A and B are shown apart, each in its own frame.
Chain A
Amino acid sequence: MLDVKITKKLNTHTLTFAGQFKQQFTGIMGSSGGGKTTLLRLIAGLTVPDSGKITFDKTTWYDGDHQINLPPGQRPVGFMFQDLALFPNLTANKNINFYQRLRLYHQKEPITPEKKQQLLETLEITPFLDESVQRLSGGQRQRVALCRALVQQPRLLLLDEPFTGLDDRLRLKTIALTQKALAQTKTQVIIVSHRRDEVTAFTDDIYELA
């Protein structure tokens, strides 16, 4: 269970959030500039809160009072950025493998080849595995980014506006494939979006940021 109670001063207001994430899927919604992405970054450790506490399954990731702040690499988190952050110089396969290779240093149980193959097939990535990510469509890039996050077998997956920029037909297909892939894991997922339908496709457990 993820327990978050933090404050962070932003440009226009102070983000204050207190919540417990108990379900496998939790949604976070809110208007632009409300702090949705910042909240994910705070959980991942990419941004440091001003004060508060973040714990995950009894492990403290951040505690302002006791000056505890676990670096991002030591939190079992997968992060799918809004702009996907795929390495443009690599193919889809190398993007996934590169991520997996670096993560192996910290992983006690790396993903098995069978599981990885199943993930590639579920997300329908296999046909363009050796293509440069720069040549892929928006939906294909999105699935590569999701696969890259999932091969690390994170215990917590943070999805930041994962379906932004896709047309309606592609969005529905990508949501369906994402649901299928996530159903094969026990990973806890937090999905951030400004669109209610994207969040409710996964969960009715939703936090609204002002």
Chain B
Amino acid sequence: MPILHSLVIALVATTLTFLVTLPIVYLLIQHPIKLNWAIESLLLLPLVLPPTVVGLFLLQLFGKYGIMGRFLALFNNYSLVFTLAGATVATIIVVLPIMYQSIKAAILGVDRHLVEAAEVIGATQFEVLRYVILPNAYNGIIIGLLLTFCRGLGEFGASLMVAGYIQGKTDTIATAIYFAIQAGDNNTAIYLSVVDILIGVTALLFIQFLNHQNKRGSANA
């Protein structure tokens, strides 16, 4: 169960973060505003904070007396605390800086003249993104998605603060390893660690492969 929970959380968090981050990064690059530095600092903030601080902030926000907590309670007394959805929200906040940096680097890596070549023929912002940016930033974006996914898979502090550790309900690979060790169940901890390592190594090998492809593509261009 913890493996499935971790995979679901990492997958959903990666997908949602990508969908939110891509348009933000693209618009900030295409139409820089004076407050770019402030928006960027806000998006990168979770990177410099301990995950427990992020967790605490989310608890304040989504807890029983938090603004979002009270709002969600209006819908059939729903609460994010102690749920997988809560762990997913915590993971989204923690992985946001990784996704932001990866997508930004990938988009900035696309030759500016390619974008201008499309603009000259009247391509809209969406068409530039769809037909020029995404195909040419493809490998960089995939690398960003994998890094984000791996970070999401290993998320511990913030998720634990928000979702806690309820066996069969909110347990993830990272929290299950911690509580298995606490309970003296080394076998479970090692088994889960090996699974996590295998997923991580597979992702890293794929990232190396894509990096190699990128270098070959640049050399041929």
Contacts and interface: CB of A to CB of B under 8 A. Distances in A.
Interface of A: 44, 46, 71-74, 77-79, 81, 83, 85, 87-89, 98-99, 102-103, 105-106, 134-135, 152
B136 A79 contact: no
A46 B119 contact: yes
A81 B113 contact: yes
A69 B121 CA distance: 16
Contact of B116 (A85, A87, A105): A85
Interface of B: 111, 113-114, 116-123, 127, 131-132, 135-136, 138, 217, 220-221
A134 B220 contact: yes
Contacts of A99: 117, 121
A77 B116 CA distance: 12
B135 A87 contact: yes
Nearest to B219: A134
Contacts of A73: 119-123
A88 B136 contact: yes
Nearest to B116: A46
A98 to B, nearest CB: 7
Interface of chain B, helix or strand or loop or mixed?
Answer: helix
Given A46-B116, A98-B131, A88 B221 contact: yes
Contacts of B121: 73, 99, 102-103, 106, 152
Contacts of B111: 83, 85
Contacts of A98: 131
A81 B221 contact: no
Nearest to A100: B121
Contact of A72 (B120, B132, B138): B120
A106 B123 CA distance: 10
A79 B122 contact: no
Contacts of B114: 85, 87
A46 B120 CA distance: 8
Contact of A81 (B117, B123, B217): B117
4 closest A-B pairs by beta carbon, nearest first, are A73-B122, A85-B113, A85-B117, A103-B121
Contact of B117 (A71, A74, A79): A79
Contacts of A78: 120
16 contacts: A44-B120, A72-B119, A72-B120, A73-B120, A73-B122, A74-B122, A77-B120, A78-B120, A79-B120, A81-B117, A85-B111, A88-B136, A88-B217, A89-B138, A103-B121, A103-B122
B30 to A, nearest CB: 13
